[in-house]
A and B are shown apart, each in its own frame.
Chain A
Amino acid sequence: MSGYRMKRAARLALAPSVALLIVGMIVPLATTLWLSFRYYNLMNPALGGFAGLSNYEFFLTDPAFAQAIVNTILLVGGVLAITVAGGILLGLLFDQPMWGRGMARLLVIAPFFVMPTVSALVWKNMLMHPGYGIFAWVAMKLGLSPVEWLSNHPLLSIILIVAWQWLPFATLIFLTALQSLDHEQQEAARMDGAGPLDRLVYIILPHLGRAITVVILMETIFILAIFAEIFVTTSGGPGYASTNLPYLIYVQALMQFDVGAASAGAIIAVVLANIVAIFAIRLAGRNLTA
């Protein structure tokens, strides 16, 4: 086969993927952008036409928006703090010799495979229920009064649920990174009198630097988009206390039928995600040449 025909075959092989992503992702995104400048309400079809920036103004000045932004950031920050710190500790722990280590690791990573709606409902009912939940029972055993998790601390509750789901991901990545650590170097440091803390600070943590970056970037992208956990537990409430940006946009579009405002919100969400994505893509790109 000639080089030219080979090249043509290669282009042809790539075309369906590119076409599908353009139709499925780029066209909707462009449409969202267009809709964000239009008056468009499914409940009020008479209203139409160019809206200028008024949808953005409506969305940005809505008090719910400010709260949704704060909640989105708290959700990402809270989950990252728990999973990065916890993931490093668990990674170090399960890198130590122990009996049944493989089995214990399987138990640790299991929460990651539980679908979001199931984990949220199980936590909401069987763990966090102030009357019959396990947490209430533990609180009682400790002589404390049970906490009304979802009504009094809705955002914290969701942070805990999401952190439980993502801790295995962080642990798995840190474990993988730790296994590539040079054990001879560690041994040499030990011989030179470096204590466990020295080895952690000067050898292990620097080695994990790249893995930490990866965990932060990937988790941020997924946690910026958290939706199902809120949908089945608090429905964003009480008030807007646990509404994040995706949930606010969903409510705007599919429950209040304001397509224009929802689209403006979606564009804002995309811009926010892109700020993170730029760094993530650069990081992945560095591996391409390797």
Chain B
Amino acid sequence: MRSLRPTLFKAAMTFLGWAVALLLFFPILWTVLTSFKSEVEAIAFPPAFWPSGWTLENYFEVQERSEYFGHFLNSVALSLGSTVIGMLIAIPAAWSMAFQPAASTRHVLMWMLSTKMMPAVGALVPVFLIFKSAGLLDTLPGITLIVLVGNLPIMVWMLYTYFKEIPADILEACRMDGATVWKELVHVLLPMSLPGVASTMLLNIILAWNEAFWTLSLTAVKAAPLSAFIASYSSPQGLFWAKLSAASTLAIVPILIIGWISQKQLVRGLTFGAVK
């Protein structure tokens, strides 16, 4: 009897936990299922849960109508581009503040954090005007640059907290052996902090992929990544739920997988190291 109680408790928790989890996951599951239905079945009422004749037609049609793949590639270029260039800029900065701190380091870190706290809308008007006159509106370099600047503080902060966990003595020792700063960075620091570097990159890929303020206001046809392209489905013509679902499924699945891989580091990144 005594051993039965924990089992019963566990069974109850399992039931409750899975019920809640499936409820919260339902909109995503529903989107994926609807993407395999015909348009008629997608708006059937009462709703048809399982697609009766699983079809890939929506996926093909989304591509044919709107060059979907082009927007997908824009998303890939935007998230990888802003992350890789951002890391090249952020790693030296984080190294500098973690291992060669100056009196001003604390203030610099705080200031960087404060720029992230500033609402993007505060910079919208000048950025829009500058982009307009520089011909950067609706271009990949333009949108990549602005997303990169927006996420740079998070990259520097995250890397800084990871670098701080590496004992300075180790870097000191290899410098005694005559290693240059460059060698110290590439051969000692980066390999030692590889998990941190990797999770910083993953978090930034997620943030850039899902970025929707700048992409909606600065891109239109050519450079629009998926986050902006999907918005064109807000003014529908005719039957479109199945196609909306197909476009949405392709847009969320890659990043969902990355998100699941990096969930632990995500907490740390999004709270600027306040919760580990």
Contact = CB atoms under 8 A, between A and B. Distances in A.
A253 B124 contact: yes
A209 B90 CA distance: 32
Interface in B121-156: 121-130, 145-146, 148-150, 152-153, 156
A45 interface: no
A214 B276 CA distance: 12
Contact of B180 (A1, A23, A28, A109): A1
A252 B192 CA distance: 50
B244 A283 contact: no
Interface in A15-72: 16-18, 20-21, 23-29, 31-32, 35
B210 A116 contact: yes
B27 A115 contact: no
B23 to A, nearest CB: 9
A183 interface: no
Contacts of A23: 149
B275 A214 contact: yes
Interface majority SS (helix, strand, loop, mixed), chain A: helix
B114 A281 contact: yes
A277 B114 contact: yes
Contacts of B197: none
B273 interface: yes
B210 to A, nearest CB: 4
* Majority secondary structure, B binding face: helix
Interface string B23-54: 01101101100100000000111110000000
Interface string B91-106: 0110111011010001
A176 B276 contact: yes
A26 to B, nearest CB: 7
Contact of B213 (A20, A173, A228, A253): A228
Contact of A288 (B106, B129, B216, B252): B106
A25 to B, nearest CB: 4
Contact of A121 (B95, B102, B233, B266): B233
Interface string A79-123: 000000000001001101111110011111111111111110111
A281 B230 CA distance: 34
B212 interface: yes
Interface stretch (A187-195, A198-206, A261-269): A261-269
Interface of B: 6, 9-10, 13-14, 16-18, 20-22, 24-25, 27-28, 30-31, 34, 43-47, 89-90, 92-93, 95-97, 99-100, 102, 106, 108-110, 112-115, 117-130, 145-146, 148-150, 152-153, 156, 161, 175, 180-181, 206, 209-210, 212-213, 216-217, 226-228, 230-231, 233-234, 236, 241, 244-245, 248, 251-252, 255-256, 258-260, 263-264, 266-267, 270-276
Given A6-B181, A254-B217, 15 more contacts: A7-B100, A13-B96, A17-B92, A27-B126, A31-B126, A32-B123, A32-B126, A93-B17, A107-B24, A119-B27, A126-B34, A137-B46, A218-B270, A227-B121, A231-B231
Interface of A: 1, 6-7, 9-14, 16-18, 20-21, 23-29, 31-32, 35, 90, 93-94, 96-101, 104-119, 121-127, 131-132, 134, 136-137, 140, 164, 167-169, 172-173, 176-177, 210-211, 214, 218, 221, 224-225, 227-228, 231-233, 245-246, 249-250, 253-254, 259, 262-263, 266-267, 269-270, 273-274, 276-277, 280-281, 283-285, 287-288
